[in-house]
Amino acid sequence: MLTNYGIILASGSGTRYSSDIPKQFVKIAGKTVLEHTIDIFEKNERIDNIILVITPEYRHFAEEIILKNKFKKIIKILNGGNTRKESSYIGISSIVEKEANVIIHDCARPFLSQ
C-alpha cells in the first residue's frame, strides 16, 4: 500500500493581505490559520505523513505551534521557495519513496472538510 502524504504550503508572505505577519499566523477562533490547517490533516485517517513547507523567517513560530499542539504526523519542516511552484517542488522532492500518494494544500485556506 502506498504512503499518503499531505504537503501543506505555508511559505507565502501574504503581501496582498497587508499585515505585519503572514496570514498563516493570524488567529481565527483562538488558533492560527496554520493550526487549523494542520489539525485537519492530522485528524484525517487517510493521511499518513505531513510535510510542512514554511517561510524560513517564521520557522520558529511553526515549530512552537507543532510542539504546543503535539502534532504527530509532521515528519518534515522545509524552507519554502520564492514561488508556490518552487515550494511544491521542494515538498514533493523530499519524499524518498518512488511511488506515493500526495495531496498539496495551501495553508491559507484552512476551512476544508475531511
Question: Between the CA of residue 8 and those of 1, 80, 88, 110, what are the distances in Å?
Answer: 22, 11, 9, 10
Q: Rounded distance, CA 31 to CA 29, Å?
A: 6
Span 59-81, average pLDDT: 95
Q: Give the tens place of pLDDT for each residue, 78-108.
A: 999 999 999 999 999 999 999 999 999 998 8
To 5 degrees, how large is the angle CA 67–CA 99–CA 45? Answer: 45
Q: Among residues 14, 73, 10, 13, which one has the least CA distance to residue 40? A: 73
- The maximal CA–CA distance of the chain, rounded, in angstroms, is 44
Cell 506515493 maps to which residue? 100
Q: Half-sphere exposure (CA, 13 Å, Cβ side) for 103?
A: 15
List, in order of start, the domains of the chain with CATH numbers: 4-106 (3.90.550.10)
Q: Give the tens place of pLDDT for each residue, 37-64.
A: 999 999 999 999 999 999 999 899 999 9
Give me the pLDDT at residue 15, please.
54
The residues with which 77 forms a beta bridge, in sequence order, are 52
